[in-house]
Chain A
Amino acid sequence: MSGIVSSEAHKPPTERRTGQGRDLLIVFIAAMTVVAPLLLPMTAYYLNLLMQASTYAIAVLGLTIVLGYTGQINLAQAAFFGLGAYSVALGTVSFGLPFWPALFAGIIIASVAGVVLGLTSLRLGGHYLAMVTISFQQILMLVLTNWISLTRGPDGIPGIARPIVFGFSFADSGTYLALCVGVLWVVGFCVGRLKHSKLGRAMQAVRDNELAAGVVGVDVYRTKVIAFTLCALFGGLGGGLFAGGFTYISPDQFGFAESVVFLTMALLGGVRSPFGAALGTALLILLPEWLRFLKVTYLAVYGGAVILIMVFMPRGIWGFLEALRQRLCPLAVLPVGRVAPLPLTTQVAREDGSIILEVNQLSKHFGGLKAVDEVELSVRRNTVHALVGPNGSGKTTLLNVLSGIYKPRNGQLFFDGQAVTRLLPHERAGRGIGRTFQNVRLFTAMSVLENIIVGAERPGNEVTVGSTGVEQHALAALDFVRLAELRNQTVQSLSYGHQRLAEIARALAGSPKLLLLDEPGAGLNTVEKSELVQLMKRLKGHGLTILVIDHDMNLVEQVADRITVLNFGRRIADGPQAEVLRNPEVMAAYLGNVKTHVAP
């Protein structure tokens, strides 16, 4: 591992300098917007409007995380906002707390509500989540309105205090607004950074392809719960600041309609970027003021706008602008500098023929269909083991059981000497089982390199810690399949053959001990197929163990050491390649009963 080069070597210097310049510009603008409320004279009306916009934007940034990054619906953001607001209001007015402890309590309460809600509903599909969040929203409204002894009911709470820091008071609206804008920038910065962190990549992987994310090593459920909790946390923070800003709150400010307004803000602005969140919020706070002539119909216009946004501008205004920029200056093919070799051999070169994967009496039934029926299988280290069989013979089902997507009806799985039958997909990835899918499952909205990095970030992967270490490792995996030049492209712009290779690279980046390939040759042309054969031979040369499914017997013959044949979910043959290919039962399964033609 001496060949690691610093990340500078791969980035043309200009790329870095402009990036720095942009960061400086953003910091400058941030400072200006914080200072502006202190210096500019503003009417109380505009101060209120901006206060609303900045505190709402903080809550909308929560939706950027949960909806934009993670792809989960939250229709209760106003409830979390309300929890924060009521904590500050009741804390300062009823319990005599200073502002900050009350705000802190609000953030905690909102986050705890988020965790509990997330834990109960995120295992289920998106519809359930949508409905559970609406339920939570409604129950909270009932409590706020009816538990009068605590919340003072529909009358609301007046006289909420504003904070004091080291004797400096934020009681003046201008200084309080400066505080809110400052917090907004900090939160926006964090949310922006999150996108390019390990956690952020895991979230986006879950959004783009939940199944693949699990198999690559992302703990899908945990990632969703964290996203949901962060969303609730920012909701609580925004709400707490909102209560201080307006000094009066009542339950109707936190109803379902407000949750929908939050959602619309996020969608309109662009749900995948913090700038989109701010833009959407600003527009929807200011628009109703400008569109006062609409009066009663403006919420109806909101509703119509949501449909139109989904149909015509699914990425929101910011997403639209980004797409425009990309069309104007498309991404160049980047030349590759020196790339470290992929450290495949370090962990698997043990050519002792011992068994790495053992499958005992494994069955998987779908209703009455025995897709996999008491199958036995042993894969030896440093071999290419092919699993073949006619369509519907249970190959892919078996692979899905192996990678943990399906739970077996009965039977055991041992990997590397340990039982893995009960492990979840990401835990199996953590043990060193990598895989690709029959129909390519990449994280479509992420760049090629980001896809591979998610693979490199699997739990337990022995990679140099830190972002450059992981990036170098991912680049090495990409270089192994000869795609390093395309690292900055979006996955969707790759050809089908390249997508298949990228998926293999993603699995390789996780340094698997066993690689499961599900029909890697499907849909490839002859040239691509021979390249694939070469790739598999190189992998084997590096000591990797491969279990491959394919229909193309020509391909199987070129790479496989051993072959297992399935038919109707049962194993009908198993052994060294030459032996199995001469097996009459196998020939019958493939070609019909051709006994008369069997060569002597």
Chain B
Amino acid sequence: MGIALQLLFTGLGIGSIYALVALGFVLIYRATNVVNFAQGDFAMLGAFSMVVLCIDLEFPYWLGILITVVAMLVFGALFNLAVYYPLRNRGFQPVIISTIGASILLENGVLAAYGPRPQALPSFFSFQGFSVGPIFFDSQYLVILGVTVVMVTLQYLFFERTLLGKKMQATSQDKEMASLLGIPVALMIMLTFIYSSALGGLAGILVAPILFVSVGMGSSIALKAFAASIIGGFGDVTGAIVGGLALGVVETFGSAYISVPYKDAFAFIVLVVFLLFRPQGLFGEKVAEKA
């Protein structure tokens, strides 16, 4: 029982990371109808930025985090301009391929610059955590869970309570109508990329101390985050969060009780099961093409 609870705690922590990256997927998908295959690399960039700033340049963590988040905001804008914007009128396939190209470029660019050796980033706090009964609450996992809850709440308030959030929602629902109402659609999409990039970067910052920071970490996280968003119901914000948490838990239990080498396969097996039996996911995507 104690072990199970411990695994649950760990699983939720990892799941939060998937949820954050999945949120980025979903937001961009809702705004552009395209899946951004470089979403996981945003996390990779965030993590590497922390390594460069806080280990190589020995900045304090708070400064490293601040610089990383700002850099990711800028990066999101550049990404939008280079990878999405020129192809915005050409259907989803060219854009998907273009984001795949971006993903290869980012991963191998970082590889060329930093080499293949995985880097370790120490935990944010020297305080390791505390025990309650048989469960050890690791401080880094607590930070991850806490930040995820705060981000999800802020995002909810932003989209539901602010005018800008409503404009972005309108853009994702009907671009043509939104532009007729005077909403600058291109700018709204740019803002979506900026926010998603920062969200991905934040996931990378949070996960850096518990995983090794490596070039391949992005695509591995992205694949699971995407699986999570399908499980939750693609295009659904709640689904992305629930799916991400669920996947983290499944994976942690799977590697504890079934097989460690095949740890990464569980996400895909769950994904295939969902695609077969409930392709609309837990919360369901509305699928209807207008003729």
Q: Give the Cβ gap from A65 to chain B, nearest Cβ, in Å.
A: 15
Among the 9-residue stretches B53-61, B66-74, B164-172, B260-268, the one with 4 or more Cβ atoms under 8 Å from chain A is B260-268
Considering only residues 252-291 of chain B, those with a C-beta below 8 Å from chain A are: 261-262, 264-265, 267-269, 271-272, 275-276, 279, 287-289, 291
Whether the pair A310, B108 counts as a contact (CB closer than 8 A) is no
- Give the size category of B's interface with A: 35 or more
Closest to A311 in B: B86
From B234, B261, B288, contact of A146 by CB (8 A):
B261
Whether the pair B227, A135 counts as a contact (CB closer than 8 A) is yes
CB neighbours of B219 from chain A (8 A): 256
Residue-wise interface mask of A (128-159) relative to B, using a CB-CB cutoff of 8 A (1 in contact, 0 not): 10111011101100100010000000000000
Whether the pair B105, A139 counts as a contact (CB closer than 8 A) is no
> What separation, in Å, do the CA atoms of A300 and B287 have in the docked complex?
36
CB neighbours of B105 from chain A (8 A): 300, 302-304, 306-307
Cβ of B87 < 8 Å from any Cβ of A? yes
CB neighbours of B100 from chain A (8 A): 75, 260, 263, 306
Cβ of B112 < 8 Å from any Cβ of A? yes
CB neighbours of A146 from chain B (8 A): 261-262
Q: Give the Cβ gap from B284 to chain A, nearest Cβ, in Å.
A: 12
Whether the pair B261, A124 counts as a contact (CB closer than 8 A) is no
Cβ of A121 < 8 Å from any Cβ of B? yes
CB neighbours of A443 from chain B (8 A): none
Q: Give the Cβ gap from A287 to chain B, nearest Cβ, in Å.
A: 15
Q: Give the Cβ gap from B24 to chain A, nearest Cβ, in Å.
A: 15
Cβ of B139 < 8 Å from any Cβ of A? no
Cβ of A267 < 8 Å from any Cβ of B? yes
CB neighbours of B97 from chain A (8 A): 73, 263, 267, 306, 310
CB neighbours of B227 from chain A (8 A): 131, 135
Whether the pair B101, A142 counts as a contact (CB closer than 8 A) is no
Whether the pair B268, A305 counts as a contact (CB closer than 8 A) is no
From B96, B223, B261, B262, contact of A73 by CB (8 A):
B96
CB neighbours of B29 from chain A (8 A): 127
Considering only residues 76-109 of chain B, those with a C-beta below 8 Å from chain A are: 82-83, 86-87, 90, 92-98, 100-109
Cβ of A314 < 8 Å from any Cβ of B? yes
Whether the pair B94, A300 counts as a contact (CB closer than 8 A) is no
CB neighbours of B269 from chain A (8 A): 139
Dominant secondary structure of chain A at its interface with chain B: helix
Whether the pair B104, A127 counts as a contact (CB closer than 8 A) is no
Cβ of B37 < 8 Å from any Cβ of A? yes
Cβ of A297 < 8 Å from any Cβ of B? yes
Closest to B86 in A: A311
Dominant secondary structure of chain B at its interface with chain A: helix
Closest to B116 in A: A296
> What separation, in Å, do the CA atoms of A361 and B254 have in the docked complex?
51
Knowing A138-B264, A314-B94, the reply to whether A120 touches B101 (Cβ < 8 A) is no
Residue-wise interface mask of A (287-318) relative to B, using a CB-CB cutoff of 8 A (1 in contact, 0 not): 00000000011011011111100110010000
Whether the pair A142, B82 counts as a contact (CB closer than 8 A) is no
Whether the pair A260, B104 counts as a contact (CB closer than 8 A) is yes
CB neighbours of B223 from chain A (8 A): 131, 134-135, 138
- Give the size category of A's interface with B: 35 or more
CB neighbours of B63 from chain A (8 A): none
> What separation, in Å, do the CA atoms of A214 and B198 have in the docked complex?
42
From B87, B95, B230, B291, contact of A211 by CB (8 A):
B291
From B35, B101, B275, contact of A304 by CB (8 A):
B101
Whether the pair B291, A396 counts as a contact (CB closer than 8 A) is yes
Considering only residues 210-266 of chain A, those with a C-beta below 8 Å from chain B are: 211, 256-257, 260, 263-264
Cβ of B187 < 8 Å from any Cβ of A? no
Q: Give the Cβ gap from A66 to chain B, nearest Cβ, in Å.
A: 12
Cβ of B111 < 8 Å from any Cβ of A? yes
Whether the pair B112, A126 counts as a contact (CB closer than 8 A) is no
Cβ of A71 < 8 Å from any Cβ of B? yes
Cβ of B226 < 8 Å from any Cβ of A? yes
Closest to A396 in B: B291
CB neighbours of B291 from chain A (8 A): 211, 396, 399-400, 405, 437-438, 441, 518
Knowing A303-B108, A310-B87, the reply to whether A126 touches B101 (Cβ < 8 A) is no
Knowing A126-B96, A139-B268, the reply to whether A305 touches B101 (Cβ < 8 A) is yes
Closest to A215 in B: B291
Residue-wise interface mask of A (306-348) relative to B, using a CB-CB cutoff of 8 A (1 in contact, 0 not): 1100110010000000000000000000000000000000000
Q: Give the Cβ gap from A488 to chain B, nearest Cβ, in Å.
A: 26
Closest to A264 in B: B101
CB neighbours of A168 from chain B (8 A): none
Closest to B216 in A: A256
Cβ of A366 < 8 Å from any Cβ of B? yes
Q: Give the Cβ gap from B278 to chain A, nearest Cβ, in Å.
A: 12
Cβ of A16 < 8 Å from any Cβ of B? no
Closest to B83 in A: A307
> What separation, in Å, do the CA atoms of A131 and B231 have in the docked complex?
13
CB neighbours of B90 from chain A (8 A): 314
Whether the pair B268, A120 counts as a contact (CB closer than 8 A) is no
Cβ of A22 < 8 Å from any Cβ of B? no
Whether the pair A124, B104 counts as a contact (CB closer than 8 A) is no
CB neighbours of A267 from chain B (8 A): 97
Whether the pair B104, A142 counts as a contact (CB closer than 8 A) is no
Knowing A128-B279, A400-B291, the reply to whether A307 touches B102 (Cβ < 8 A) is yes
Whether the pair B230, A128 counts as a contact (CB closer than 8 A) is yes
CB neighbours of A264 from chain B (8 A): 101
Knowing A130-B35, A135-B223, A400-B291, the reply to whether A299 touches B108 (Cβ < 8 A) is yes
Q: Give the Cβ gap from A425 to chain B, nearest Cβ, in Å.
A: 10
Closest to A210 in B: B289
Whether the pair A126, B94 counts as a contact (CB closer than 8 A) is no
From A121, A142, A311, contact of B264 by CB (8 A):
A142
Whether the pair B109, A297 counts as a contact (CB closer than 8 A) is yes
Whether the pair A128, B275 counts as a contact (CB closer than 8 A) is yes
Knowing A128-B230, A311-B87, the reply to whether A306 touches B104 (Cβ < 8 A) is yes
Cβ of A123 < 8 Å from any Cβ of B? yes
CB neighbours of A305 from chain B (8 A): 101
Closest to B101 in A: A306
Q: Give the Cβ gap from A187 to chain B, nearest Cβ, in Å.
A: 24
Considering only residues 393-422 of chain A, those with a C-beta below 8 Å from chain B are: 396, 399-400, 405-406
CB neighbours of A396 from chain B (8 A): 291
Knowing A211-B289, A297-B108, A300-B112, the reply to whether A138 touches B98 (Cβ < 8 A) is no
CB neighbours of B264 from chain A (8 A): 138, 142
Whether the pair A120, B108 counts as a contact (CB closer than 8 A) is no
Which residue numbers of A lie inside 8 Å of B, CB to CB? 71, 73, 75, 120-121, 123-128, 130-132, 134-136, 138-139, 142, 146, 211, 256-257, 260, 263-264, 267, 296-297, 299-300, 302-307, 310-311, 314, 366, 396, 399-400, 405-406, 437-438, 441, 518
In the complex, besides A134-B223, A300-B104, 11 extra interface pairs with C-beta distance below 8 angstroms are: A127-B29, A135-B223, A139-B269, A260-B104, A296-B111, A299-B107, A303-B101, A306-B97, A306-B104, A437-B291, A518-B291
- 21 intermolecular pairs with C-beta atoms under 8 Å apart: A73-B96, A127-B234, A130-B35, A131-B230, A131-B271, A135-B267, A138-B265, A267-B97, A297-B112, A300-B107, A302-B101, A303-B102, A303-B103, A303-B105, A303-B108, A307-B83, A307-B101, A310-B97, A366-B288, A400-B291, A405-B291
* 10 nearest A-B pairs in the assembled complex, by CB-CB distance: A306-B101, A303-B105, A303-B104, A300-B108, A135-B268, A299-B108, A307-B101, A296-B112, A297-B112, A146-B261
Which residue numbers of B lie inside 8 Å of A, CB to CB? 29, 35, 37, 82-83, 86-87, 90, 92-98, 100-109, 111-112, 219, 223, 226-227, 230, 234, 261-262, 264-265, 267-269, 271-272, 275-276, 279, 287-289, 291
